[in-house]
């Protein structure tokens, strides 16, 4: 049995005071083949602890159907960290934020129109408890009290930024204890009065999250918790990016200076992030301050390891700071997977989305344009089709409300786009005698992961109308695009390119290595490599390349499929040995 706990103002491990130097690595943002590499680099940097969130939506993608294999093999990740001699902090709360889709909560929660999130609402708590019934027994053998590496677990995440329901927080605490969780429990909040008041739980350690002014933050924490160890649970040493905004960077010397001040104050620190990884697939989240802002595919975060696992300047400067407080051995890093240039790949085959509906989806007849969640869909796209009678003079098409980005077609002709974040977007329709077919393809760009607008249903959420007249009688195709194996590709055809189109090309590989797909000339869409969804691309930037980890490739022929929404200038991509952000 290992022991870890609190004695006065210190953390104590097996009877000895310990200062936690921790870094966040999310197992669900890194391919399992690279978990050990990233953990070895964390240890080589001088860290003694790794921290990870647990994303509910990857473990229970459909109600009652659980996954804990491959990229969702949380137990293996924790065991691997323990085998390397690392402590592990686990944050399994139902909500994680993390710039992850819906803050980690599963989309199917929103199929219930009366659902209340993150509060003492029995239907929500029943779902959480059912999830905990499966998740927590897997973690109990890994607790330090049972000889494992887990030293602490989080009850909820930055709850004071969202609500003040202490009854809800106590329910989560008791749910964990009743299922055998007997290690140190904690909460984490920003160092503001209302955040600490809303997020703290009696007899539970409070930690704080911030990126700068550490002594000021710790003084605020002491006003509420003066007799416990100081810990920054999220030291934001980098930041995430939204589409169409500049790439965020932070000076390495400044990061080192703030970190050293925390260690000198005797505080424990968890770097958020140590290694960010990638929002593969459709799992990026979004923020909503003054308007909706989706997060990019890369979660590079400008931290100690870049998206592909390479040490950055921050890695070495942070290690230098640690060496002032801890005797570190000579730096030895694992051999890095080589980055490779594979050159140009041409896309010689294609098939249109509208021509492929019969193999991608079964039509659903609905009076109203229902949301994704109401139809049992989680991610991807959804197509709404209706016949509009005519003749009608030109009238504005109003989507009330669209979440998130809609492409409009009338009798197969593309008319434009309506984006949730651009209220000035307008599409006007003139309907000829005999009527016309209206098609609206809506992309779910990622559910809001932080703040008061978490209840973010996708698709057309209320209705579609011409002027003041609502349109009824819709045919709907759900398009999660999680299996493209039935697509019937043919030779390139300019007629197909008037609609959203799938393009296929073949990449020949002699020796697999990490690489980056450069998407110059393409507009917006999704990339698949050997059936694996790498994520979204968009010409608005800042991300210009998508990371392709070597384990996704094989010797010989590899298939690359692009689902392009708007068309391209040149139907090829380049696979290069470097990322381009900004």
Q: From CA 144, how far away is CA 2, in angstroms rounded?
A: 5
Handedness of CA 451, 452, 455, 461 (dihedral sign): negative
Q: What is the pLDDT of residue 491?
A: 86
Q: Is residue 17 part of a domain?
A: yes
Q: Are residues 469 and 541 in the same domain?
A: no
- Whether residues 475 and 515 fall in one domain: no
In a domain, 484, yes or no: no
Q: Please indicate, yes or no, whether residues 235 and 188 belong to a single structural domain of this protein.
A: yes
Structural domain ending residue among the three candidates 445, 479, 513: 479
Q: What is the DSSP string of 452-483?
A: TT-----EEEEEEEETTEEP--EEEEEE----
**Domain boundary, last residue among 479, 512, 546:** 479
Flag whether 539 is in a domain.
Answer: yes
Q: What is the pLDDT of residues 227-251, one digit of tens each?
A: 999 999 999 999 999 999 999 999 9
495 falls within a domain: no
Shared domain check, 403 and 521: no
The residue segments making up the domain with residue 403 are 356-479
Looking at the structure, do residues 225 and 106 belong to the same domain, yes or no? yes
Kindly state the average pLDDT of the residues 99-124.
98
Q: What is the pLDDT of residues 404-445, one digit of tens each?
A: 999 999 999 999 999 999 988 999 999 999 999 999 999 999
Q: How far apart are CA 27 and CA 11, in angstroms?
A: 26
% of the chain exceeding 70 in pLDDT: 99
> Looking at residue 496, what is its pLDDT?
60
Structural contact between residues 132 and 477, judged by C-beta atoms closer than 8 angstroms: no
Q: What's residue 492's pLDDT?
A: 75
> What tokens were used for 414?
């593309």
Residue 255: the pLDDT is: 98
Per-residue pLDDT reduced to its tens digit, 351-406: 999 999 999 999 999 999 999 999 999 999 999 999 999 999 999 999 999 999 99
Q: What are the strands, taking DSSP E only, across 356-514?
A: 364-366, 381-388, 392-403, 405-410, 413-419, 427-431, 436-443, 459-466, 469-470, 474-479, 490-491, 501-509
The closest alpha carbon to 157, from 131, 189, 182, belongs to 189
Average pLDDT over residues 540-567: 98
List the catalytic residues: 158, 234
Q: How many domains are there within the chain?
A: 3
CATH number at residue 260: 3.20.20.80
H or E element in which residue 258 lies: helix 252-264
Q: Is residue 512 part of a domain?
A: yes
Does 363 share its domain with 288?
no
Report the chain's terminal Cα–Cα distance, integer Å. Answer: 49
Coarse DSSP helix, strand, coil percentages of the chain, rounded to the nearest 5 percent: 25, 35, 40
The string of DSSP codes covering 17-57 is: EE--EEEEE-GGGS-GGGHHHHHHHHHHTT--EEEEE--HH
Q: Where are the alpha helices (DSSP H) in 350-463?
A: 357-360
**143 and 250 part of one domain:** yes
Instruction: In whole angstroms, give the CA distance from residue 7 to residue 91.
Output: 22
Cα–Cα distance measured from residue 437 to residue 408, given in angstroms and rounded to the nearest whole number: 11
Instruction: Identify the band that residue 2 occupies on the pLDDT scale cut at 50, 70 and 90.
Output: confident
Return the C-alpha torsion angle 246, 249, 251, 257, nearest 10: 130
Which tokens is 345 given?
């790949």
Q: Are residues 413 and 532 in the same domain?
A: no
The predicted pLDDT at position 522 comes to 97
DSSP state letter for 304: S
Say if residue 456's pLDDT is above 70.
Answer: yes
For 249-283, write each residue's pLDDT tens digit. Answer: 999 999 999 999 999 999 999 999 999 999 999 99
Residue 333 belongs to a domain: no
Q: Give the list of residues 6+ apart from residue 323 with CB closer than 8 angstroms, or none.
A: 46
- Please, which pLDDT band fits residue 582 given cuts at 50, 70 and 90? confident
Bridge partners of 427, per DSSP, are: 397
Whether 495 has a pLDDT exceeding 70, the answer reads no
Same domain (yes/no): 117, 242: yes
Confidence (pLDDT) at 236: 98
In degrees, rounded to 5, the angle at the alpha carbon of residue 166 between the alpha carbons of residues 161 and 171 is 115
Exposure string for 302-330, b = 16+ CB within 10 A, e = fewer: bbbbbbbbbbbebbebbbebbeeeeeeee
Task: Supply the pTM of this predicted model.
Answer: 0.97
Residues 348, 361 within the same domain? no
457 and 514 both lie in a single domain: no
Whether 74 is in a domain gets the answer yes
Least confident of 50-54, 333-337, 478-482, 553-557: 333-337
Name residues whose C-beta falls within 8 Å of residue 18's C-beta, 6 or more positions apart in sequence: 10, 11, 12, 48
Taking a C-beta distance cutoff of 8 angstroms, is the pair 379, 459 a contact? no
CATH number of residue 425's parent domain = 2.60.120.260
In three-state secondary structure terms, 89 is: strand
> Do 347 and 360 sit in the same domain of this protein?
no
The answer to whether residues 71 and 281 touch, using CB atoms and an 8 Å cutoff, is no
pLDDT at 119: 98
Give me the pLDDT at residue 494, please. Answer: 60
Task: Say yes or no to pLDDT of 288 above 80.
Answer: yes
- pLDDT tens-digit series, residues 293-343: 999 999 999 999 999 999 999 999 999 999 999 999 999 999 988 999 999
Q: Mean of the pLDDT values across residues 148-156?
A: 98
In a domain, 173, yes or no: yes
- Look at residues 163, 135, 121, 23 and name the one whose alpha carbon lies nearest to residue 73: 135
Contacts of 346 (CB under 8 A, 6+ apart): 505, 571, 572
pLDDT of residue 1: 66
């Amino acid at each position: 049995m290992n022991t870890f706990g609190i004695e006065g103002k210190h953390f104590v491990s097996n009877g000895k005071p310990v200062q936690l130097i921790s870094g966040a690595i999310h197992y669900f943002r890194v391919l399992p083949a690279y978990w050990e590499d990233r953990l070895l680099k964390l240890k080589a940097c001088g860290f003694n602890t790794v921290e990870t969130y647990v994303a509910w939506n990857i473990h229970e993608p459909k109600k009652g159907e659980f996954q804990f294999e491959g990229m969702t093999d949380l137990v293996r990740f924790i065991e691997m960290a323990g085998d390397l001699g690392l402590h592990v902090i686990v944050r399994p709360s139902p909500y994680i934020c993390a710039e992850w889709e819906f803050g980690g909560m599963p989309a199917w929660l929103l199929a219930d129109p009366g659902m209340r999130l993150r509060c003492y609402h029995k239907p929500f708590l029943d779902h959480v408890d059912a999830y905990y019934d499966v998740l927590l027994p897997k973690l109990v053998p890994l607790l330090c009290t049972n000889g494992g590496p887990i030293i602490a677990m989080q009850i909820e995440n930055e709850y004071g930024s969202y609500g003040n329901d202490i009854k809800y927080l106590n329910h989560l605490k008791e749910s964990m204890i009743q299922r055998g969780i007997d290690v140190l429990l904690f909460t984490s909040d920003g160092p503001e009065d209302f955040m600490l008041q809303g997020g703290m739980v009696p007899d539970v350690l409070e930690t704080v999250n911030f990126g700068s002014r550490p002594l000021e933050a710790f003084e605020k924490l002491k006003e509420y918790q003066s007799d416990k160890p100081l810990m920054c649970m999220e030291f934001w040493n980098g930041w995430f990016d939204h589409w169409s905004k500049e790439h965020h960077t932070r000076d390495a010397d400044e990061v080192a200076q703030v970190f050293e001040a925390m260690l000198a104050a005797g505080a424990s620190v968890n770097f958020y992030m140590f290694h960010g990884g990638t929002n593969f697939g459709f799992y990026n989240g979004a923020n909503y301050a003054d308007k909706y802002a989706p997060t990019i595919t890369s979660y590079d975060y400008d931290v100690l390891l870049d998206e592909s696992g390479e040490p950055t300047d921050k890695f070495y400067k942070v290690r230098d700071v640690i060496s002032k407080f801890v005797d570190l051995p000579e730096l030895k890093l694992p051999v890095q997977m080589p980055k490779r240039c594979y050159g140009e790949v041409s896309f010689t085959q294609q098939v249109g989305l509208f021509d492929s509906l019969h193999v991608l989806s079964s039509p659903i007849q609905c009076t109203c344009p229902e949301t994704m969640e109401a139809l049992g869909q989680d991610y991807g796209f959804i197509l709404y089709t209706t016949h509009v009678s005519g003749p009608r003079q030109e009238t504005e098409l109003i989507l009330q409300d669209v979440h998130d980005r809609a492409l409009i077609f009338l009798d197969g002709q593309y008319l434009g786009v309506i984006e949730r974040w651009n209220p000035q977007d307008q599409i006007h329709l003139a309907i000829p005698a005999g009527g016309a077919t209206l098609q609206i393809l809506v992309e779910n760009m990622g559910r809001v992961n932080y703040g008061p607008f978490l209840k973010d249903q996708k698709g057309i959420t209320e209705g579609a109308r011409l002027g003041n007249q609502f349109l009824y009688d819709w045919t709907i195709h759900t398009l999660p695009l999680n299996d493209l194996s039935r697509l019937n590709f043919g030779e390139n055809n300019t007629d197909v390119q008037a609609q959203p189109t799938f393009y296929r090309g073949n990449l020949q590989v002699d020796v697999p290595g990490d690489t980056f797909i450069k998407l110059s000339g393409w507009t917006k869409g999704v990339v698949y490599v050997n059936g694996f969804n790498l994520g979204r691309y968009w010409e608005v930037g800042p991300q210009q390349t998508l990371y392709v980890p070597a384990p996704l490739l094989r010797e010989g022929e590899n298939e690359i499929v692009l689902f392009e929404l708007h068309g391209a200038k040149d139907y090829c991509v380049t696979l290069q040995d470097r990322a381009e952000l900004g």
